[in-house]
């Protein structure tokens, strides 16, 4: 049976967290509709809290006559490695996953040495005990795996710190170069795990969209993560996807489209 509760909080996330605590459920078990967004007011006065409606399934009760489903839902965050420190947001417009690494980059390779020198210095400044393992792919790209301890701080919330490190490394290595090279930085195989989580999320949301015949708006993602969602659902029956909004809050919409991909 579909049931719902309404909760408030200082922010939308606080309101959702309050509902999850009250229900004793995980974020993947519910759907969220934002009723009122938080308003800060002027100089801290006249503000109002965020209000959300959280819909959940109560299997032990009789099935309802209606099928209430939110028209807009913030998608459940997928499981990822714990990250204590949040780094600067970075949303590079990369639209593909780093290819499989082939042969290790030669020690005398000036690009590889430049990557190693930059990352070693950056990790030392971050007080992270890790070192870069660099490999050169068949396509001529550099695959860097950070190996060590305390890598949650390197990954950051939803990979934001890792994205920033990758962006900074690319800038430092390619600055002033006549030919740019692509550099992919990873830690604890986070990117492969994140991609798999995004695919599972996409299929779960698409199932809801077809079942309730309602479009669902996912949480804000960077360009690469949105690309994973689009690719995962490009052949899913009765579903289409598109992006809306502006960076860094651009979101993917999974829309009900009868007859699509049939």
- Asked if the peptide bond before residue 56 counts as cis, ω within 30 degrees of 0, the response is no
Contacts of 26 (CB under 8 A, 6+ apart): 20, 76
Instruction: Report the 10 Å Cβ neighbour count for 125.
Output: 8
**What CATH number has the domain spanning 103-188?**
3.30.300.20
pLDDT in tens, 117-157: 999 999 999 999 999 999 999 989 999 999 998 788 899 88
Please give the Cα distance from 143 to 66 (Å, whole number).
51
CA distance 237 to 262: 6
Q: Whole-angstrom Cα distance, residue 155 to residue 87?
A: 8
Higher per-residue pLDDT: 21 or 203: 203
The answer to whether the predicted template modeling score (pTM) of the entire model surpasses 0.85 is no
> Helices in 39-159 by DSSP H: which ranges?
110-125, 152-155
Distance CA 186, CA 86 (A): 16
Return the structure tokens found at 40: 């800060």
Residue 224, pLDDT > 50, answer yes
Cα separations in angstroms, 110 against 120, 142, 212, 220, 233:
15, 12, 56, 38, 41
Check residue 259 and give its pLDDT.
82
């Amino acid at each position: 049976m579909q049931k719902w509760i309404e909760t408030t909080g200082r922010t939308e996330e606080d309101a959702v967290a309050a509902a999850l605590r009250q229900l004793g459920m995980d974020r993947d078990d519910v759907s969220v509709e934002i009723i009122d967004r938080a308003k800060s007011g002027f100089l801290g006065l006249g503000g109002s809290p965020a209000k959300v409606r959280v819909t959940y399934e109560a299997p032990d009760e009789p099935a309802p006559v209606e099928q209430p489903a939110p028209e807009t839902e913030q998608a459940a965050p997928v499981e990822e490695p714990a990250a204590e420190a949040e780094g600067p947001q970075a949303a590079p417009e990369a639209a593909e996953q780093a290819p499989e690494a082939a042969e290790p980059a030669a020690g005398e390779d000036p690009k590889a040495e430049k990557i190693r020198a930059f990352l070693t210095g950056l990790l030392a400044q971050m007080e992270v005990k890790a070192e870069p393992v660099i490999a050169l792919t068949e396509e001529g790209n550099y695959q860097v795996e950070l190996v060590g301890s305390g890598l949650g701080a390197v990954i950051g919330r939803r990979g934001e710190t890792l994205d920033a490190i990758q962006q900074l490394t690319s800038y430092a290595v390619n600055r002033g170069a006549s030919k740019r090279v692509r550099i992919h930085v990873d830690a604890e195989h986070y990117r492969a795990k994140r991609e798999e989580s995004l695919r599972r999320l996409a299929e779960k949301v698409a199932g809801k969209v077809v079942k309730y015949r309602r479009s669902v708006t996912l949480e804000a993602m960077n360009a690469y993560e949105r690309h994973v969602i689009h690719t995962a659902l490009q052949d899913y029956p009765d579903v289409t996807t598109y992006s809306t909004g502006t960076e860094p809050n651009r979101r993917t919409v999974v829309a009900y489209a009868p007859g699509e991909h049939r």
